[in-house]
Structure 1
């Protein structure tokens, strides 16, 4: 059994993680829900949501659960700090947990690297200014963004209500001919049930926030053999 501890802001698409647990043998993903604060995809509330003080609150519970790694299951609550600030956030989390730690923002960068992808498009639920910060974060990670689409959604609560058709529409609209993969940030968005369909729609890997979050936790726990045909190309073959 591999145990990946998750710190998840509020309540939105946490059932995505139960789906992943059911698809990967020997995976346990205990979750602590952190204080969401103001539900807004704006820089100040996002930085407050990702503060070290808020993240540290649930760390002891995850440690007692037997977690082998801890992932801050939030994309925007990490990349809004910038490349260096996001690293500092994770260093503080690792120190508080006494475990290897990361965030969904870094998970995207590492997953793209694992797939050999250097050019991507971004299909985001966020307002344009927040999407642009993710683009800059990826650039700092050596990932070129050749196209970016913003949906202008401010709250996680609204994103959590999106269904299959709207997610498919987002991915199709966010694709770009030069992109080797489509990245879909926002852990409030349900995507796990649709991953094979999303990849079929664009004919390339689709990396989504909840998918890469678990993959990152497994990477940190040094479990390399987690595979599923239902979780996209990221989980389909050798890293």
Structure 2
């Protein structure tokens, strides 16, 4: 049994995790600990407070008790708002506090894009435009070519959590770029675990979503690889051979 730990801010789409655990169909356990979201706002100052070290460390002891072998800060906006270097320091601090390998959803997207061997991406975000643009900047710092980015202007994670498959598909159709090699939906408050095959069929390309890549990242940290077609191309891709 491999136990994977996730620090998840507040309550929005955390039910994606038991669904993903079921879809993995393996000896994998996903343990979710909720952190204090503070002010529920997709606004830079609120997001910086949400991802502060003291908020993350408060959930670490609970994860230790679960026997987690790795921990991922399951929040995209609460990591990329720190910028490339700041986000690195955030996960380094989390790893030191937890005493185990650590990462965040923002880096999960970076590593997943590299795993797929793609460079050109399109982004469909639930965030206001200024926050969506910060995610695009983070991806560019990692070497990705962001062909388009579309924000949705939603301020709270609570509202994002009410979106169903129809809203997710509508955003994907509107935000995709025909020349993009992959499409990214960066918000762990968004329910996507049940509609990944539909998204990929609709767009005819790999789709990366926040909770999907967060779980994949935790598996990567523990050197586990699970073939799970219901979770999209990322979970069926053979690992790239490094020269």
Tell me if both proteins adopt one fold, taking TM over 0.5 as the criterion: yes
TM-score of the aligned structures, taking structure 1 as reference length: 0.99
Give SS of 1:63's match. Answer: helix
Give the structure 2 partner of residue 173 of structure 1: 174
Cα distance in structure 1, aligned partners of 2:14 and 2:143: 29
Give SS of 2:231's match. Answer: coil
Query: Deviation of residue 46 (structure 1)?
Result: 0.2
Q: Is the 8 A contact 2:20 2:193 kept in 1?
A: yes
Cα distance in structure 2, aligned partners of 1:237 and 1:175: 22
Give SS of 1:32's match. Answer: strand
Per-residue CA deviations over 1:23-46 (Å, capped at 9, x if unaligned) read: 111111111100000000000000
Give the structure 2 partner of residue 190 of structure 1: 191
Cα distance in structure 2, aligned partners of 1:104 and 1:181: 17
Cα distance in structure 2, aligned partners of 1:235 and 1:229: 6
Give SS of 2:103's match. Answer: strand
Give the structure 1 partner of residue 78 of structure 2: 77
CA RMSD of aligned residues (A): 0.6
TM-score of the aligned structures, taking structure 2 as reference length: 0.97
Give the structure 2 partner of residue 45 of structure 1: 46
Following superposition, which runs of at least 4 residues in structure 1 exceed 3 angstroms of deviation? none
Give the structure 2 partner of residue 143 of structure 1: 144
Give the structure 2 partner of residue 126 of structure 1: 127
Per-residue CA deviations over 1:158-208 (Å, capped at 9, x if unaligned) read: 000001100000111111011000000000000010000000000000000
Q: Is the 8 A contact 2:116 2:237 kept in 1?
A: no
Give the structure 2 partner of residue 62 of structure 1: 63
Cα distance in structure 1, aligned partners of 2:116 and 2:3: 24
Cα distance in structure 2, aligned partners of 1:48 and 1:112: 28
Cα distance in structure 1, aligned partners of 2:135 and 2:237: 27
Aligned residue pairs: how many?
Answer: 238
Gaps of 5+ in 1: none
Give SS of 1:230's match. Answer: helix
Cα distance in structure 2, aligned partners of 1:61 and 1:164: 32
Cα distance in structure 2, aligned partners of 1:238 and 1:26: 20
Q: Is the 8 A contact 2:13 2:188 kept in 1?
A: yes
Cα distance in structure 2, aligned partners of 1:227 and 1:96: 31
Per-residue CA deviations over 1:18-66 (Å, capped at 9, x if unaligned) read: 1110011111111110000000000000000000000000111111211
Query: Deviation of residue 237 (structure 1)?
Result: 2.8
